[in-house]
Each structure stands twice: as structure tokens, then as C-alpha cells.
Structure 1
Amino acid sequence: MNTTSSSASSSGTAYTGDEGCSCIDATETLSSLTDRSCTTTSGEVGILLTLCGPCAPLKYGSGACLQTFFFGTLHNDDGCNSLSKHFQSSLFQHDLLYDEDCYSQTNNGKPTLDESKTYCLRNWCFVDPTTCRKDSEERVYRSSYFGYSSDVDLFYSYSTCNSTEYDWMEYEKSNLHITKKILGGVSIQSAVAAYIPPIMYKRNSDGDTLDLKGMGDEYYDDAVPYEGIYANYIEEIIKISNGDIKNVTYTHGSRASRVIHPKSMYTATVQDVADGLVDMAVGPFWITGERLSLVSFTIPLIYDRVVLVIPKPGTKSTLAEEVYKVLEPFTWGTWSLVLGVIIFSALLSVWFSDRAALAKKRYGSDLRDKKTNRRRKRVYARLALDSFLQKGMYFFGAAVEQEKGASLSSNFLHFGFGFFILIVVSAYVANLAAFLTRATSSYIGTIEGAIAARQRICAHPALASELKVKHPDANFVFTGNGGYYGMIDDFNNGNCDMLAMGREESTTNLDLLNKLCDSNLVFTDGLILENAIAFPIRTELASGFSYWLNEGDKMHDISLRNAMDSFNFEKEVVQCNVELDEQTIETSEYDQIAPRNLFLPVILFLSCGIVAIALHVFHLYRVRQGKKSSIAGRVSMLLPSDEMLSMRKRIESDADSVDFPPLDHRTCDLKSRRSTDEHAISSFLDDESGNENGLGGDDSAADESASC
């Protein structure tokens, strides 16, 4: 295979890039990386392209698209003029000369060009990105050999050398050998903040799982291995790195850091990473502003939802709550509608009745003052109150009055009122039993509701800054120490009314879940804050380790969530159900009756009321026109003969007992209306008695009418 470039001129010079994006000399920049200095096979000073090699000369990638290589040994026996006799030079691609991955070993032990490594034959050089962006259209990339952590900025371009970067990009994406240059087979020491079975834990000498309460001397003994979800997850990441991550060992946090951060063992462990005591920390670490100011973090592993944890609804019930259940089948709007219908029906009944006779009979009072002839409001009010109470009793008894001799207007009114009572009482009774027997389920399940009710919320001190910024009006109580366990203790001691807890850690901590059961606490869906969980790590390792975390998720289906789902942990059974949505009964069983549900009975009642009003107005109009009676005003008589006679006597008695003042036009109207009703009854009774004329008992009424 031809390994020289066609760009080489006959004079042996190499192409230096397109105008506007020329190759630069990066020798001085590379020589500044003293921690990566090395000696090439030819004995000159070089630079390690990765932490593990290979060693390339400082002129690597500099000055031109191809690099000059000298064959033979230099001698100076005859002086400078004899050099041309003892060596020859040629131009080669930078990678072809110094990237050992471009070659494979043959049977005779000599390296042979690997024809699959097509990127080795592509021309490129280091360039100035500022100039290229401004003065050319060449594609420029930052060198992965000398990344951000190297404190130097080196950029390369294939297109300025009339070449393509496609082969290199494809090789970098698909071939795992190139990825070994990310971390270079690093060994990582990681600290663990605390025992949280099944997240991370140790076992005692008896093989029993240890939790936070069981942390003892074995926590500081690195010979005792860690187990758990996170340990298994890290092991899977190490496997797919193919040696780029040599191993991850676990150790304890320092006592000094826990003195500095007494409220959070996790923040104390982050401090250990910041102080350089360990390379990384493994566990469910929230990314917070305070922690980011100390160290870098990997990419997020999972997002933790911090939600409200509240007392289980129904575990406490006051007398007032039990009393209120009687009213719960209806909404307040429905109760207002019922009250309005009763009042409306009562007022119409007073209007339709013979108020003067009724007032005289019941209270011994006239509707008008005998001296001033003015209406007595007190008597009218008493009539209205009696009618309201009467209609209310009919409603509560689920029936209407069976008034003998009621007018047609009254019957229409009672017909509509009776249908309304039928529907409303049936709906109320159908729902009442369910509401009376259910547990009290009124609760605050959102942060907005907690703020409005001024509830005290116990929260983790590690999230203090984030919570205060997100919800400045909330009344958070940050526990002194102990994390979630300290928050539960504060709740039990009455220091707060509810808690703010992250679901990811707490729902996998079985001991913590049982603590919630003991305190009658349940999780809600009321989101307070969503926070990323990641590993705190040294800055120079953050990018490389994050690469493998992302590679595991995207290419190998290795994620923390899957590790949680697949972990087999011999665990005790949780004592109760800590989810609110499974504690409550479906809300459809407790839907309240709303006014719209009573549309039909209300419309029928109003229709009957309108018809009754129209009939009564028509009756009054006929009486004022001088008519003795009207079909609308006649009393409905569907009674046996003896009852009819009794009613006639009662009406006559009521009429005679009323002592009217000197007649005026209003009194005449009243007497005309009364005489009309008496005429209707008398006519019917006389017909039943055999009176041929059917006018018995009407003479006095006619006289009274005439006198008016």
C-alpha cells in the first residue's frame, strides 16, 4: 500500500493547509505538558498522546499536513556536506508514523499496516480555530488527545489538508480500542457515605445486613466488602469499559468532614472528594448548588422527585368532621337550591290561601289594623314563617300536604313541589350511607395547599437552598441531623405537620418505609422539587467516567433504574402501604350531587309554579271584574258527601269569624274571593243534596257582593 502522500512535492515539501486555515506549529504548546513528557524510540523528547502512550515527537501534527521521516543513521565524519550521503527522507501521515493502532503484529514479529485503519492514511494538522472560523469554511475539531483537562487548547482539521475526517470519526465511535484513551486504565477510590440497604451496605460477621443504625467499626474497615444496587451498577460499567476503568475500590468517609458538615453525611463525603482524599463518591447524591461549588459531578443517573409526605387521611377524625358528613352528599349550591325552592313554595302557598280567614283562625288577628286599615306586617311574617316550616316538614318527610279543598293553583304548586321532593330525597338517601361510613379524606396533597394552610414541612438540610428558592413562601423546618430519620423524629415530636422526601432513596430503603408506617405517613404525588442524582467526582475524571455511564445506558442498556429493578434483595415485608393513591377509594363513589343534576325536577317545579301563579292571577282578575266565581279559583272537591258538608260548615265558620272594617275596594275584593269559594262549595253540595237550582247558600254571598 502506498503510504506517502500525493501532496508531497518533488522537492520533499509538504502541503501546509488551505489559505485562511493554515497548519500551525504546536511544538511549544506540547512541550508545556511536562507531566506527559516522554522519550521517543529515536531518543528525542516527545509527548504521550494518552496517559498510556504512544510517545510522539513534539512536532506531531505541526507545520504541515504530512510529516518528514528520516531513514538511516546520521553521521558527521565528513562534516555537514556528507549528510546527504547517509540518509534519505520521506513524507508520511502523522498518525501513520506514531499511532501504534495503525499496525498489527505479523508472524515474523514485524509490524504491518492494518488496512482496516483507513484513518491512518488521512492528512491533517493542528490549526488555529479563531483564524479558521473567521477566514475559512474548513471544519475544525478540538483534539481528544489534549482535552479540557490538559489545560491546553489544540484543534485539528482534515479538510484544510484536502482530506476527510469521516474515517477517524467512524473509528472513534465504533471501535472500543480508541476509547481506552479516555481514562487510560485508571483505578478509582470511592467513598461511601452511609449504609442504606439495598442501595449500599455491608454485612456483619454473622452475615446479617447492616443499615444506618448498625454502622460500627466495620464501616472503617475497607476489607469488609460493600454490596448493593450501586455496587452492582458500578461493576457493570467497569466491564463495558474494557480496561479503561481498571477498578473501583470503596472506602469510608473522613471523620473531619462530618464535623464540618454535621447535618448531612452525603455533603461530608462530597467534601472528601473536594479535599482530594478520594476520587469519587458512590451513592444517591443530589446535585445541589453547595455541592457543585465543591466538586464536579458525573452526568445525572436518575432524577429524584421530592414530594409531600403527609399523615394518612382518615387516621384522625374530629367531631366537626363527622357532623359535616351529613351535609356532604350535596354541594353548598345544591343545599341553597333546596332552601330556595322551599321558600318559594311557602310564599306562593301564603299568597294562594285565604289569608284573612287563616290569620283570624290561627292567630286571632286581622291582617289589617281596624283603625288605620293598613296591613299588619307581623301577621304576614308569621303566616310566611308557618308556611316555610310546614313546607320544610313536608320536604323532610318526603311528601307534600294533602290539603282538602285546595285551589287549582295550590294543587299545581304542590304537584311540582312533590316531584322535586321525590328526586332530591331519593338522591340524598342514596348517597348518605356512603358518606357517613367513609374515612375522613380531606388532606393537603400539594405544596400550594401546604403554603396556603401555613403547614410546617420538615425537609432535608442538603436541599435548603433549592427549596427556599423554589418555594420562598413555604414554612420549611430543616432537621438538625439524621437526614430522613431525623425528619420523621421531628414529625413525631410535633415540630412539623408533613415532610418533603425524595422518592428514589426513600422508597428503596425498607427500614425507612417501616418508619413511615409507624408514624402513619404516606407519599403523595404533590411535587415539591425535582433534583438530579449523580456521583461527585474529581474534575479530571468527570468527563471520562460520564462517557462510560452514557455508553452503558445508550449502547448496553445498563442504567441505575435497571439495576434497581433487577437487584435481588432478601428483604423484610413493608408493614403497610405508603402510597396515598392506593389508600383512598375511587372518588367517583363519593361524587356530590350538584345543582345541574337536579335540572329536571327544578324545571318541573318552576313550570308548575308559573302555571299556579297564572291561574291565581286569572282568578283574581275575574273576581275584580265582578264575577262571582272562576274555574281557576274554585275549590277542588273530590270528597265524600259528609266531608263536603263538614268543609262547608268550616268555611262558613271561618268566614263569620272574620270581623272586617268598613268596606273599601280591597275588602270587597277579599269578600268577593271568599264568596266565590263558598259559592263553589255550596253549589256542589246543593247538587249533591238534590237542589235543582244548584244555588243553595249563595244569597248571602250575592248580597255581600252587591253591597260592595
Structure 2
Amino acid sequence: MTRAAAFLALWPLAAATGECPCITSSSALYSQLRAELTAEGLGADYGTEGCRAYDNENRSRSLFGCNGTAQVSQCENPWCFVDMTVCPFSLDRCAAAGAAPGSDDSPHCRTRRTEDKTILNTSWSYSYETCGSVNIDSIRHSVAIGGYVIKIAATAWAPWVVERGGEFGGPSYDFFTQSLKLFDPIPTVRLIPGWATEQSRRKFASSYTACVHDVAVGNFDLCIADLWLTPERNSVANFLPPLRQDFFYLVVPKTIEEVTFWSYLASPFRPFSVDAWLGVVAFLCGMSLLLWLMQLSDAGFCSRRQKFSWSLAEFGNSLFVVWHDFLLGQSSHDVENGPARKLISVAFSFFILIILASYTASLASILVVKRGAVGEISSIDEAIEKGVSICVPSVLGPTFTNLYSRASFVLVGSQEHSPRRMHAGDCKAMVVSQDVIDSLHAGYIKEQDCNEVQVTQTVTEDEGRCETDYLGRTRDDCNFIRVGEMLWSVPLSFPVSEKLLHSLSWAFTTGLTDGLLEEVKGNKLNKDGFPVPNCAAEEGNDDGVLSLEDLSGTFFISVFIAAAGLVCFVFETLRKGRSSAEEGLGVVDPQESQDIPKANVFLETAKAEERLAAQPDGIPKARSLESEELPNQKVQAAAFDLDDCLQMSRI
């Protein structure tokens, strides 16, 4: 009886035995298998008695190398030969059983992974998965693709995939070839020239997507390139684990932000925002007011204008003391008069500690004012608001259109052509990857454009813009600057055939985990291929050392305050000289004859007190005080309560 006939005859009976069951005595091919196992010297029960770790029971007999000296983990796993008459997944047979695909109602609705072994020229299927075990070592994957001929297509994209003398290299390509060494025997790589086939190119605008299609239809096993994993491509073929990510940013023409005198003047205040400075000022003024009120409470209150004048003067003095202590970084308030003053002093000291520490933490770097470059547009949101046209790679056009529906995008076939479109005036901004930005600033993009214009002559000067931009200015790729946050990231991966998917995925994951990609990136040949930006650095002191120019704002503010103090000193000196001259001539200001100068009230009062104390007992002190004459004026005792103001003078 042939296998096909046995399959048809026994299918109704086997349908109830579960998916991919072990072969049993009821199977049509059971006797044949046992006979061939005996003839091979393995024993009739080897793999035919249900799920058992046959290779661990007797390692002298094994189909999987367990009779060698090396310990193999799969030798301890249970397995069995399976009855293939009921194992294959079949939609028709699943539907005939009235079941849904994926259900357990029929063994043809689900399946288990099986592999084949040849015994006496007959292929027999076995399964570890049927017995609930999986071989997780490299042997499993070597069995799948070890020694296999892998047909690949490759195209250069420096620095990750490069072509050197007709052979490919670069970090991505080298990572692939090094990963194959995990298999035994190592698969053979056969490079198919020409990248994507013409047939696939006619179906897709992008040659990269065309190569993905070639993998899907079986022309290639793998495409090696700097290839983005997009939804469209992933719907066509399987992909290996991503090797890295491409990060996309907005790039715009730059303008130089000139450094002015006001920039230096504002630099000492930049550690804090405006609202933070307002908070500091409010706290210090509140502290001054609190200390002033406490001082008034301690001194008592007078009832006349002299009291009011003295109070305002003391409030000004309180403001000065608080600000002076703050700038000195210490509190000099009296802490001997009760717990209230102690607590207030502690609060003020804590405020000074935290604020000044926060201020000085970043002051040095902030004082270094650079002549910085900024973009004509600061973000993609601003570009959208201004209606600026933005170049984006056509493959990512649907993604960015979904993300920024109001933006005006110009689709570009390849992202490295976006700079030439900018120079041509087709767009005012572009979305490109960091790799392209680095190549742009290293001069590689311009070199490629000039090669197409002047050497291969595949494009005209108006298209390639090798020499000038659309305004006639000399092309300068250093005039482009990255602005804003990262807009999007795209994984880079290789499309792969279904046969190689699992094994190569394991090899790639192992390589990435073991640092293989970083290792191949670090070898000299690949390391030297990465672009090094050669655009001149912007003016500024990058060594962290402050120059006199950086401190000019601080000097100006300090000198301005000192100059204000000098002006006050000059006016005070002139006023004192004038007062002395007038006193020598006996000239009395009419106003002074009616009102005691605020600055001398308490001094003259103290002198009057001393004279009162020196008079003999019995003379009324109040009356004697009324008869006292101060220089050029009389003390008007009725103007205020003497005892209270004497107390204030002692304070």
C-alpha cells in the first residue's frame, strides 16, 4: 500500500488522535518503520513508543549525534516519529470536519513543526514539538540552513554597505557574513549582480521595495542594503530583526544669531527665568517688610511726622540689609531677641543657600556667550504654520502625511537628493536622517551631486546644483542646520525568505546581543568610512574658560551701581559744603526754621536729654526743655511725646 493510499484510508480514524500525533501500531506505516530501524541497528522501539528521551536512554544509538563525546542539550529532550497521514495542515480537510482553522477540532486545523530523517533511503518525519520540547541550540538551525547556498542582492549605501573593488563590505554586510559562522557547515553566499530585477522595478518606484518583492517571489533569499522597514514592505516579505534605527530631523537654512551688548548684559540673569527672578524679588521684599514691622513693634509708635519719616528711612535700610545679605550669601539679622527672629533668620539663610547654589551651578557655562547659528525655522510646527514646503523621502511620505496632515510635503525619490532640491528652491526645509546630515556636513552629498552633474552627466546643473543655488549663490551645505526634536525613527532591516527566517533571525539576535555589530563597526576599514563633519565651528569659547568679553555684562552692571553710589557721594559732599557755608554766614533756611531736619532730630534730642539730666533737682524738666534752643531752631516739645521718642533714640 502506498503512503497516499494509507493516508486516505486511515484519515477518518486518525482525525480524533490530535494534531501531529506520534506514530502508533494503528498507523499504516508503523511496521515498515520498525523494520527499517532494526536494520539500521537502532532498535525497533527507537522513536516508536511515544514521547521519550530516546537519545538520553542509550546514547550508543542515536540519529542526532548523541553517541559522540560532546554533551548535546537536545539529547535530553523527548521526541517521537509522527504519523504524517494526519499531521499536514489542510484547509479543505479542516473545513470537511466542520472546524475552523486554528481550532483543535481536527488535526488538520493545526499542525506541529516536524523535520525529516532518512533511514535506509526512506524519509521519516519526527517532531520534538509534538512531545512539548524545543531544541534551542545551534544544531537545530544548522540542520535548517547549514551548508545552504544563500542567494543575495546587495547595493551600496555608505558607510553601512560599501563596495570595494567589486566586493561588498561595511558594518551591515560584515555583520551578515560574520553571523553565518554560527552555522555548521557555514552557508555559501552567492551574490546576484544588478540589485533588483527589472520585472520588480516596473512594479515599484523604489528599487529597494522592488528588491523586497524579489525576495517574496523567490528570486533572492536576502536583500542587503540600508533598507527601511515600512508597512508596505513588511506586507510583501518577512524581515530579519532590525540592525539599527534611522532617526529623522527637520533641516533648514541657518542664520547667524549676532552677539550684541545686550546679550552680554543679560547673561548674568540667564540662570533664572523672568518669573523665577520675580519670585526672588518678591521674597526679599517680603522679608524686608517683615523685619521692618518687627523693628517698629520693638521701638514703639510715635504720633507725629517725625515718626513717619523715621519709619520710611528704616524700611529703606531694611531693604538694603536684606539685599546686601542675599548678595553676600549670609544672614546678619539679630537672633538674640527671641525665637521669632531666630526662625526668620533660619528661613532666610535656607533661602540664600538654595537660591545661590542653584544660580552658581550653571552660571559659568551660561556666561559664555557664543555667536550661535539658529535655523530660519525653529521647528516643524513653525514650518507648518508658515506654509513652508518640506522635502521628504517618497517612501516615508504616507507616514509623515499621517503625522502632520497640515504640512506641505514635496516627495523626493531618495533622501540624499533632498539637499539638491533645497538648493534648487523646490522646498524650504527637508526631513532627512542623521546619517544624511552627517554626510551633508562632511561634503559627501555635494560630491555625489557634482559627480552626477560633471562626470556621469546623468543630471543637469539645474537639477544637481553642484555649483550654485537657485539664487546664484555658491552652494554651501554647511548652511543647513538641524532644528527641533527628532520627528520619527525607522528600523533598518533585511528582507528574507521564509526558509531562512527563523535561523537567520536567531543568528542576528545572537550577534546583536554579543556586540557583533559594534565590533565590525570598530574595525579600521569600516570606522574610517563614517563621515566626519568638516563645517567650521561657530564662534565662541568652547574650552569652558571665561573671557573678559564673557564677563563684560557683569562688569558693566557692577560699575553702573558703583557709579550711582559715586554720584550720591558727590551730591552729599556738595550739600554738606553748602550747609557749612550757610551756617558760617548765619543763613537759616525758612523751612529749617519750622521743621527740624529729619536726620538731626534724634541727635539733638539726645543732647537735650543729657542737659536735663545735668540740671539741679526741682527744676521742671519739660519746661527747661522748652527753653532750650537748638542751633538755628527751637525744639517743639509738643510735637511728640518725649518719653516715646527718647526710647526710639536709644534704639
TM-score using structure 2 length: 0.51
Structure 1 Cα separation of the partners of residues 501 and 537 of structure 2: 37
Structure 2: runs of 5+ lacking an equivalent: 1-11, 37-42, 56-62, 69-74, 117-123, 287-306, 329-355, 448-475, 554-574, 612-623, 641-651
Matching residue of 2:310: 408
Matching residue of 1:329: 268
Structure 1 Cα separation of the partners of residues 580 and 250 of structure 2: 72
Matching residue of 1:463: 396
The residue identity in structure 1 corresponding to 2:27 is: G
The answer as to whether partners of 2:257 and 2:373 remain within 8 angstroms in 1 is no
Structure 1 Cα separation of the partners of residues 229 and 405 of structure 2: 23
Matching residue of 1:191: 153
**2:628 corresponds to which of 684, 694, 697:** 694
The 1:122/1:291 distance shift into structure 2, 3 A limit, reads closer
Instruction: Give the Å deviation of 1:270.
Output: 3.1
Task: Give identity over the alignment, percent.
Answer: 16
The residue identity in structure 2 corresponding to 1:294 is: V
Q: Output the aligned Cα RMSD.
A: 6.4
Q: Secondary structure at the match of 1:286?
A: coil
The 1:158/1:234 distance shift into structure 2, 3 A limit, reads closer
Q: Secondary structure at the match of 2:256?
A: coil
The residue identity in structure 2 corresponding to 1:21 is: T
Cα deviation code 1:247-278 (max 9, x no counterpart): 2314223467667655x443343344456544
Q: Secondary structure at the match of 2:176?
A: helix
Q: Secondary structure at the match of 1:465?
A: helix
The answer as to whether partners of 2:442 and 2:535 remain within 8 angstroms in 1 is no
Structure 2 Cα separation of the partners of residues 112 and 542 of structure 1: 23
Structure 1 Cα separation of the partners of residues 203 and 263 of structure 2: 53
Matching residue of 1:239: 181
The answer as to whether partners of 2:243 and 2:493 remain within 8 angstroms in 1 is yes
Structure 2 Cα separation of the partners of residues 304 and 112 of structure 1: 43
Query: Would you say 1:142 and 2:142 are equivalent positions?
Result: no
Moved more, 434-443 or 227-236: 434-443
Cα deviation code 1:661-682 (max 9, x no counterpart): xxxxxxxxxx8xx479699499
The answer as to whether partners of 2:410 and 2:427 remain within 8 angstroms in 1 is no
The residue identity in structure 2 corresponding to 1:502 is: S
Alignment of 1:80-479 (within 5 A): 93=46, 115=67, 122=80, 124-125=82-83, 142-145=112-115, 169=134, 172-174=135-137, 176=139, 178-183=140-145, 185-197=147-159, 199-203=161-165, 224-243=166-185, 245-253=187-195, 254=197, 261-262=204-205, 264-274=206-216, 277-309=219-251, 316-317=256-257, 323=262, 326-330=265-269, 331-333=273-275, 407-419=309-321, 435=367, 437-440=369-372, 457-469=390-402, 471-472=403-404, 475=407, 477-479=409-411
Instruction: Give the Å deviation of 1:504.
Output: 5.9
Structure 2 Cα separation of the partners of residues 123 and 564 of structure 1: 46
Structure 1 Cα separation of the partners of residues 413 and 155 of structure 2: 14
Query: Would you say 1:500 and 2:458 are equivalent positions?
Result: no
Instruction: Give the Å deviation of 1:540.
Output: 4.5
The residue identity in structure 1 corresponding to 2:431 is: A
Structure 2 Cα separation of the partners of residues 61 and 500 of structure 1: 67
Q: Secondary structure at the match of 2:371?
A: coil
Moved more, 288-297 or 433-442: 433-442
Matching residue of 2:5: none
The answer as to whether partners of 2:380 and 2:484 remain within 8 angstroms in 1 is no
The 1:572/1:460 distance shift into structure 2, 3 A limit, reads closer
The answer as to whether partners of 2:249 and 2:431 remain within 8 angstroms in 1 is yes
Matching residue of 1:481: 413
The answer as to whether partners of 2:246 and 2:433 remain within 8 angstroms in 1 is yes
Query: Would you say 1:566 and 2:506 are equivalent positions?
Result: no
Structure 2 Cα separation of the partners of residues 123 and 461 of structure 1: 52
Matching residue of 1:374: none
Structure 1 Cα separation of the partners of residues 219 and 385 of structure 2: 46
The answer as to whether partners of 1:298 and 1:535 remain within 8 angstroms in 2 is yes
The 1:421/1:265 distance shift into structure 2, 3 A limit, reads farther
Matching residue of 1:545: 504
Structure 2 Cα separation of the partners of residues 61 and 499 of structure 1: 71
Structure 2 Cα separation of the partners of residues 23 and 274 of structure 1: 29
Q: Which has the larger radius of gyration?
A: 1
Query: Would you say 1:527 and 2:512 are equivalent positions?
Result: no
The residue identity in structure 1 corresponding to 2:629 is: L
Cα deviation code 1:507-558 (max 9, x no counterpart): 589956786994245667933223221112344443443344345446xx37
Structure 2 Cα separation of the partners of residues 112 and 424 of structure 1: 82
Moved more, 646-655 or 536-545: 646-655
Instruction: Give the Å deviation of 1:287.
Output: 0.5
The answer as to whether partners of 1:194 and 1:200 remain within 8 angstroms in 2 is yes
Instruction: Give the Å deviation of 1:476.
Output: 6.2
The answer as to whether partners of 2:81 and 2:126 remain within 8 angstroms in 1 is no
The answer as to whether partners of 1:479 and 1:487 remain within 8 angstroms in 2 is no
The 1:142/1:584 distance shift into structure 2, 3 A limit, reads farther
The 1:303/1:134 distance shift into structure 2, 3 A limit, reads same
The answer as to whether partners of 1:280 and 1:536 remain within 8 angstroms in 2 is yes
Instruction: Give the Å deviation of 1:503.
Output: 3.8
Aligned length: 462
Structure 1 Cα separation of the partners of residues 606 and 223 of structure 2: 106
Structure 1 Cα separation of the partners of residues 629 and 149 of structure 2: 122
Matching residue of 1:78: none
Structure 1 Cα separation of the partners of residues 164 and 47 of structure 2: 52
Query: Would you say 1:63 and 2:27 are equivalent positions?
Result: yes
Cα deviation code 1:216-262 (max 9, x no counterpart): xxxxxxxx332333332232233332346322314223467667655
